[in-house]
């Protein structure tokens, strides 16, 4: 069995961030891990108890005029890039890593860690409780329905929903 180790408290000082724009709001209880790899542009709101889990490599980049809801969880081991004017509802999870299957004779946690970035295009909106899985790219102006699980790339201006999320229509 592996020895457990701490990832730290997530408490951070603003000057520790890789970049901090003007007019950024962090509500109470926000945690940021590896803040040196987290870059936040101007006028970003980060809601209560959100977790921005940076990683020792790759970057989490959040563009200007974004809104990140309460209790979101972003894990940027593979890298996260959120363009400008994106709304992200409460409880959204963005994941950028997974374990490969090491075979039936080994626990899944023993599988190699595979990293894949997530990219969210400008002007998109992610509904409450949605989950974006590793390697997903959302085009510009995408609407993701509440509770959806996005497993594949989404074209510009698509409205997607479900588990797995499917394109319902293209916005006009």
Element (H, E) at 95: strand 93-95
Cβ(44)–Cβ(38) below 8 Å: no
Residue 99 a catalytic site member: yes
Catalytic residue of the set 7, 99, 106, 119: 99
Backbone angles phi, psi at 48, to 5 degrees: -50, 135
As a whole number of angstroms, the distance between CA 29 and CA 165 comes to: 31
Q: Tokens at residue 162, please?
A: 């479900």
Residue showing tokens 């940027």: 76
CB count in 10 Å sphere of residue 171: 10
> Could you list the active site residues?
99
């Amino acid at each position: 069995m592996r020895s457990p180790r701490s990832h730290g408290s997530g408490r951070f000082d603003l000057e520790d961030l890789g970049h901090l724009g003007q007019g950024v709001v962090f509500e109470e209880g926000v945690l940021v891990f590896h803040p040196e790899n987290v870059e936040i542009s101007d006028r970003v709101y980060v809601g209560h108890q959100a977790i921005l889990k940076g990683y020792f490599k790759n970057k989490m980049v959040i563009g200007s005029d974004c809104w990140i809801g309460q209790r979101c969880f972003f894990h940027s081991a593979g890298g996260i890039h959120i363009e400008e004017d994106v709304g992200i509802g409460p409880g959204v999870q963005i994941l950028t890593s997974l374990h490969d299957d090491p075979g039936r004779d080994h626990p899944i946690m023993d599988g190699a860690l595979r990293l894949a970035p997530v990219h969210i295009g400008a002007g998109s909106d992610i509904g409450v409780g949605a989950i974006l899985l590793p390697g997903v790219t959302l085009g510009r102006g995408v609407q993701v329905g509440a509770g959806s699980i996005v497993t594949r790339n989404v074209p510009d201006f698509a409205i997607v929903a479900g588990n797995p999320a499917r394109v319902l229509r293209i916005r006009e």
